[in-house]
């Protein structure tokens, strides 16, 4: 348990049914408190583990109660045809039931659940249910230590879910469905910023189990945030108009280059090479038509992905280096020309 001044749980209610000693402790709340105080009393004659158990129970709950219920009657216990009719239940049991039900379910007694001082949301409550169902799946009742472990696990999982929700909401503001395309560098910067805030949210959340126990859930959160970022990257890249038209542009460039080289080799009389480039031009044209059909119809998406992959390889390995060199050369020439004009203008002014 992380250090804190508040007790982790709100209320523990013991329900004792078939109480057979009303002369020692009356049915209901008052008799239950009397028995509870007697059972939780600590004395030096008790084993140290029993003493520690009693202290631990009191330290974990803000309120501890007990309710004593009578036996519902032999007709209920022994009759295999009993169908739940109130007339067949002992009157004393029905009377105490009228006290117990409002005690548990009346509006003034239904308070919002808290664990370790934190309000429990519906999502967090679902995590607790999952954890408790998991430990109750066996044939034997779980030990109190198992219950505490399950609660700590659910508490940390809820913290992970809340922190991830914070990350997703903030990233939606950056690159959501209605946002324009964002450069990959800027997207990474926003990812690191929001990721840091999400991680801080997780660390600031009061959690059970201590720092060492929570460290594994922090690693799980980081892994889930990276997975979410990968999805945001794919979604953002889908908005890149130039990347969307990369495949047809590459195929069209292959067609043009093949056409020009085919004509050149034909003019030189090298018809074997000309036929090879004619074949490449035809294949590129058919591939472009097939890609257009895939994009339009949505069918054969695997083939479309392979065509996109092929176009990316051609762009990265062949066309992009040529494009970069040409642009770089043009920029150098333009810069040289501007510098030369500036020098000449300076000389003319000085003369």
Q: Are 65 and 32 in contact (CB under 8 A)?
A: yes
pLDDT of residue 224: 93
Q: Which residues in the chain belong to E strands, given as ranges?
A: 9-16, 61-68, 114-115, 118-119
Q: Is the C-alpha dihedral spanning 138, 144, 148, 149 positive or negative?
A: negative
pLDDT of residue 193: 93
Closest CA to 161 of 129, 201, 212, 189: 201
Give the residues of the chain that fall short of pLDDT 50.
1
CA angle 74-139-149, nearest 5°?
Answer: 115
Return d(Cα 262, Cα 274) in angstroms, integer.
4
pLDDT of residue 126: 84
Following CA atoms 222, 226, 227, 228 in sequence, which dihedral angle do they give, to the nearest 10 degrees? 100
pLDDT of residue 341: 66
3-state SS assignment for residue 303: helix
The three-state (H, E, C) secondary structure of 216-255, written as one string:
HHHHHHHHHHHHHHHHHHHHHHCCCHHHHCHHHHHHHHHH
pLDDT of residue 350: 58
pTM of the model: 0.55
3-state SS assignment for residue 279: helix
Give the DSSP H/E element, type plus range, for residue 149. Answer: helix 144-175
* Tokens at 112, concatenated: 């919002």
Return d(Cα 88, Cα 72) in angstroms, integer.
9
């Amino acid at each position: 348990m992380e250090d804190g001044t508040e007790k982790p749980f709100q209320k523990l209610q013991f329900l004792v049914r078939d109480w057979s000693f009303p002369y020692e402790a009356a049915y209901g709340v008052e008799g239950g408190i009397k028995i509870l105080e007697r059972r939780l009393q600590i004395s030096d004659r008790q084993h140290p583990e029993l003493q520690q158990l009693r202290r631990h129970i009191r330290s974990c709950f803000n309120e501890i109660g007990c309710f004593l219920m009578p036996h519902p009657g032999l007709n209920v216990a022994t009759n295999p045809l009993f169908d739940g009719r109130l007339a067949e239940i002992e009157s004393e049991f029905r009377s105490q039931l009228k006290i117990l039900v409002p005690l548990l379910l009346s509006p003034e007694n239904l308070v919002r659940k808290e664990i370790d001082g934190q309000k429990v949301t519906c999502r967090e409550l679902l995590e607790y249910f999952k954890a408790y169902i998991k430990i109750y799946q066996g044939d034997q009742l779980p030990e109190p230590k198992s219950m505490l472990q399950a609660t700590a696990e659910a508490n940390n999982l809820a913290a992970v879910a809340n922190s991830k929700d914070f990350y997703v909401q903030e990233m939606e503001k950056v690159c959501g469905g209605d946002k324009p395309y964002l450069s990959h560098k800027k997207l990474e910067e926003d990812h690191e910023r929001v990721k840091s805030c999400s991680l801080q949210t997780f660390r600031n959340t009061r959690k059970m189990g201590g720092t060492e126990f929570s460290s594994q859930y922090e690693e799980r959160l980081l892994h889930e945030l990276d997975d979410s970022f990968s999805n945001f990257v794919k979604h953002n890249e889908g908005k890149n108009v130039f990347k969307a038209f990369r495949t047809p542009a590459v195929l069209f460039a292959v067609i043009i280059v093949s056409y020009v080289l085919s004509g050149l080799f034909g003019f030189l009389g090298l018809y074997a090479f000309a036929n090879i480039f004619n074949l490449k031009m035809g294949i590129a044209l058919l591939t472009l038509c097939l890609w257009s059909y895939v994009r339009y119809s949505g069918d054969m998406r695997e083939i479309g992905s392979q065509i996109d992959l092929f176009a990316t390889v051609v762009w990265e390995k062949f066309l992009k280096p040529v494009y970069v060199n040409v642009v770089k050369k043009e920029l150098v020439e333009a810069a040289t020309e501007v510098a030369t004009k500036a020098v000449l203008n300076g000389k003319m002014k000085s003369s």
